[in-house]
Structure 1
Amino acid sequence: MSHPSEHNPHIVPREKLDFGLDQAIPKYWLGGDAFKTRLFDAMSTIFPEGERFFISCVRDFRDQVTDPHLKREIKDFIRQEGQHGIIHNQFNDHLRQQGINVDRLERATRDWLFDFLRKHLPRKHTLAITAASEHLTAIMAEAMFERRDVMGAADPRMFAMYAWHAMEEMEHKAVAYDVMQKVAGVGYLRRVITLLEVTFFFNLRMLSYTNYMLRKDRFSRWERAKLFAKGMWWLYGYQGLFSSCWRAYLRYYKPGYHPWQEPPVASYGVWLDTFNRTGDPVEAGRVVYKSALV
């Protein structure tokens, strides 16, 4: 199994970050587009419980890890994922103020992840679900921040929040995978089946939450149908947000695959250099927007 060390960045927990989320944020912060905004808002409501699920699934095997390097990576992975949940919870308060029942959505996510998956499936399987989910979030970073047309119209604070999340996903994208392979001994079949499961259920949940939010925004059924028709092409059509990642997505199905066979995207280096110099995640996002997007 190949995982070139030169491609492996350090996992750095970054805490107490200020994105200006205590200030007013436009309701449709992604270029005034209701569907695109609510899609990312839907993801934000999934992340806190999702991150807690990932942490739990990796912790299941932490006591079996003997490699000191992997132990350290697990510790930093947990700290990063914990911060992701905290920051998204801060933003989710804005959604509550807009009349979105975030607690209801988080409860639905929690029921699925903890009361169904973790209660009824083997720990190896839920760890494999975590590794597959980390693959999806890592390749989404490439789709979101290597193209100006995806996030270019976003409010700078929201752009910065999602950029920070994406860059840290690239730093720890191999942790759950390494625990799955080296400690849990998950085989190829379970690995690829769980990616299919995650792909289907994540998209289904994200789109259902998007529809709920648009309904709360008082879009009629016909208006939502039109928004979804246009939005689904933006997601899955030619050069769509998700369809443009198909090569990176399919690499997970290759026998012998490892996440570090691919280095972080170019915008990662730009973001990291700026953040290390300024300590300001919003400024790091601004520089990514100016110099890394084409």
Structure 2
Amino acid sequence: MTRHPQPAIEARKDIDFGLDSDFPKYWNADDPFKTRIMDALQLSFPDGERYFISSVRAFRDRISDSQLQHDVKEFTQQEAQHGIAHTRFNQLLAAQGMPMEKILNELKDYIKRDQARYSDEFNLALTAAYEHFTALLAETFFSRKEVTADIHPKMCAMFAWHAIEEMEHRSVAFNVMKTVAKVGYIKRCIAMVIATRHTTSVMFNYADELLQADGFSWWQRRLMVLKNLNWMYGRRGILSSMLPKLLMYFKPGFHPENIPVIHNYGEWVRVYDETGNPHQACDALLAAAY
């Protein structure tokens, strides 16, 4: 399969997105379900990023290739910054009255079980699978204008920054897995099945818990799911549109660089490099979207 040029990995630090106590509760189309499904996804990022870092670092001393050593260093710095930004947002959710301590403790326990249950090689395979999933989410949200049209600009800017960097380091865990850990095809595929199941479970289960904390009844929450089926699984749904490229992972010769970065990636980088402003960079990214 064709390999596409991979952009350089650059860790951009201490970015202020302006997320403060005045940030609206339902920031995605003023819709409780659309907001909480994304809140549920992102709340797992801080502990997830730490898990990804530790999974890759377990093989750091065995990496002899200088470029891969450099990429692992930049990957680690990017993921650390993502964890910091999303921790701050989780603090906002806690201030809204969301049961964040309970949820985050559950996530920590789940990750600890995985780290203890699986070998270093399989934890790395899971990390590579999660990285593929999040890189595809980045493409889903920022290649088409319609997906982010009703998302609050401050949140959109944070997700855009995260998306850009996910695309930059999408190959790092995979390369360590293949060239250093020597994980085989079957183990790689099993890891993707587990990672996909866990990610969707986190999204739906914790979105439901957040909506319950908002005061919505069981029936109201079920109706929200039905109302948003097309948004999630329709022809251009945020989850269904990922499926073809998600399934590419199961091809024996697959590499993340078989999928090009989104066409408007360069606009975000150009404007951010010129201005240092993530909001202006996000505007440029979306202006160049389809």
| 2:219 counterpart residue number | 222
Deviations 1:104-149 (A, max 9, x none): 11111111112x1000111111100000000000011111111222
2:127 counterpart of 1:96: no
Counterpart secondary structure, 1:177 = helix
Is the contact made by 1:2 and 1:257 (CA closer than 8 Å) also made in structure 2? no
2:176 counterpart of 1:173: no
Q: 1:90 to 1:261 in 2, by over 3 A?
A: same
Q: Structure 1 residue 82: deviation in Å?
A: 0.3
| 2:289 counterpart residue number | 293
Select 1:78's aligned residue among 76, 80, 84.
Answer: 76
Distance 1:248 1:242 in 2: 11
The TM-score, its normalising length taken from structure 2, stands at: 0.97
Q: Structure 1 residue 197: deviation in Å?
A: 0.7
> How many corresponding residue pairs?
290
Is the contact made by 1:127 and 1:180 (CA closer than 8 Å) also made in structure 2? yes
Q: Structure 1 residue 2: deviation in Å?
A: 6.4
Counterpart secondary structure, 1:184 = coil
Distance 1:205 1:237 in 2: 21
Gaps of at least 5 residues in structure 2 are: none
Is the contact made by 2:41 and 2:199 (CA closer than 8 Å) also made in structure 1? no
Gaps of at least 5 residues in structure 1 are: none
Is the contact made by 1:47 and 1:85 (CA closer than 8 Å) also made in structure 2? yes
Match runs of 1:13-92 below 5 Å: 13-92=11-90
Q: Structure 1 residue 36: deviation in Å?
A: 0.7
Distance 2:63 2:85 in 1: 29
Identity %: 41
Distance 1:201 1:51 in 2: 15
Deviations 1:4-43 (A, max 9, x none): 5xx1101000001010113511100111011110011111
Q: Which amino acid is 1:293 matched to?
A: A
2:180 counterpart of 1:189: no
The TM-score, its normalising length taken from structure 1, stands at: 0.96
Moved more, 97-106 or 171-180: 97-106
